[in-house]
């Protein structure tokens, strides 16, 4: 056993080579797969949809916000990996009384890269994590943001309307894309707004995320009516908010969105 410090600055005593890992976070579940951990991951949540083969076959221990403790105990994990934002504090505090629980806390790309490094060290896959981080870093280094910048509102929920604030991983992805989050100064990381506030804020573009609320084509007209003249775009919520190995796909996706916005709003 060895003591390690997680991203919440907690000391956690974990096995040197954990063999029964449970992931409580979808993006980190995908990371564990891409680090080659295979059968060492014994449990995931019902929201861990990638990779599909794991989603279909791995035991599920409830959701990110409501963990099934009996299912966790039955799997006898020697390491649980969670996240400060994704998981409920009460659940984590209860789990850590029985199991080693390592927590991430991620609001920026740099913190995501550190998480990948730490998980690699925890699981004995340091070299794979290093290669993955090098590829992600190189991809983001080539990202060409919008010039001039555009103001944007990023909606994550519909009833009530909720937007991503500035102190979020989504906010960091927006900034790197040349999108100025028009709600960056809200004290809530995910703030409730009404349609009138959205219209008054008058962003250059409205982004409707595919998750956690599944915005789709049918919602475009609704926002075109409340904010006439403002372009409304559907965006891939996974590529804006997942901070694991999926990040290697994110810069290419963002570059495509930047090209689309540039074409629709020439300088």
Residue 144 within a domain: no
Token reading at 200: 């008054």
Question: Locate tokens 């080579």: which residue?
Answer: 17
Main-chain dihedrals φ then ψ at residue 150, nearest 5 degrees: -120, 145
* Terminal CA-CA length for the chain: 58
pTM: 0.95
Residues forming beta bridges with residue 152, ordered by sequence position: 181, 205
Q: Specify whether 174 is located in the same domain as 132.
A: no
**Residue 33 pLDDT:** 98
pLDDT at 5 over 80: yes
Residue 156 exposed, middle or buried by CB count within 10 Å (0-12, 13-18, 19+): buried
pLDDT higher at 87 or 166 = 87
Instruction: Write the pLDDT tens digit of every residue in 49-69.
Output: 999 999 999 999 999 999 999
Last residue of a domain, one of 110, 139, 168: 139
Q: Specify whether 120 is located in the same domain as 218.
A: no
**Residue 187 pLDDT:** 85
**Residue 117 pLDDT:** 98
pLDDT at 249 over 50: yes
Token reading at 33: 């797969």
* Residue range of the domain that includes 244: 150-264
The CA distances from residue 259 to 99, 189, 265, in Å, are 47, 28, 10
Mean pLDDT of 146-156: 97
Q: Specify whether 112 is located in the same domain as 209.
A: no
Main-chain dihedrals φ then ψ at residue 57, nearest 5 degrees: -120, -25
Residue 145 within a domain: no
Question: Locate tokens 């730490």: which residue?
Answer: 118
The H or E element containing residue 197 is helix 195-201
pLDDT higher at 267 or 135 = 135
**Residue 265 pLDDT:** 58
What CATH number should be reported for the domain holding residue 126?
Answer: 3.40.50.1980
- The tally of CA atoms less than 13 A away on the side-chain side of residue 108 is 6
Instruction: Write the pLDDT tens digit of every residue in 67-121.
Output: 999 999 999 999 999 999 999 999 999 999 999 999 999 999 999 999 999 999 9
Instruction: Write the pLDDT tens digit of every residue in 13-49.
Output: 999 999 999 999 999 999 999 999 999 999 999 999 9
Q: Taking phi first (over 0 means left), then psi (-120 to 50 degrees means alpha), and beta for anything else, what does residue 126 get?
A: alpha
Domain count along the chain: 2
Q: Specify whether 161 is located in the same domain as 245.
A: yes
**Residue 264 pLDDT:** 67
Q: Is the peptide bond before 135 cis (omega within 30 degrees of 0)?
A: no
């Amino acid at each position: 056993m060895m003591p390690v410090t997680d991203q919440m600055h907690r000391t956690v005593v974990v096995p040197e080579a954990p063999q029964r890992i449970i992931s409580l976070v979808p993006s980190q579940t995908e990371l564990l797969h891409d680090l080659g951990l295979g059968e060492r991951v014994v449990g995931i949540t019902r929201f861990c949809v990638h990779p599909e083969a794991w989603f279909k076959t791995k035991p599920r221990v409830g959701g990110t916000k409501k963990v099934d403790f009996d299912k966790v105990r039955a799997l006898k994990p020697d390491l649980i990996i969670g996240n400060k934002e994704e998981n409920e504090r009460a659940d984590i505090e209860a789990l850590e009384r029985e199991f080693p629980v390592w927590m991430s806390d991620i609001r920026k790309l740099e913190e995501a890269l550190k998480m990948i490094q730490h998980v690699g060290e925890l699981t004995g896959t340091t070299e794979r994590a290093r290669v993955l981080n090098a590829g992600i870093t190189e991809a983001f280094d080539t990202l060409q943001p919008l010039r001039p910048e555009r103001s944007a509102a990023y909606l994550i929920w519909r009833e009530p309307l909720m937007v991503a604030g500035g102190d979020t991983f989504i906010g960091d992805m927006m900034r790197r894309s040349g999108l100025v989050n028009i709600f960056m100064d809200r004290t809530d990381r995910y703030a409730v707004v009404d349609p009138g506030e959205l219209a008054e804020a008058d962003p250059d573009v409205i982004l409707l995320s595919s998750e956690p609320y599944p915005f789709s084509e049918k919602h475009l007209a609704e926002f075109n009516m409340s904010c006439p003249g403002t372009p409304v775009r559907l965006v891939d919520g996974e590529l804006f908010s997942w901070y694991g190995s999926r990040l290697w796909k994110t810069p290419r996706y963002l570059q495509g969105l930047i090209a689309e916005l540039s074409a629709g709003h020439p300088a």
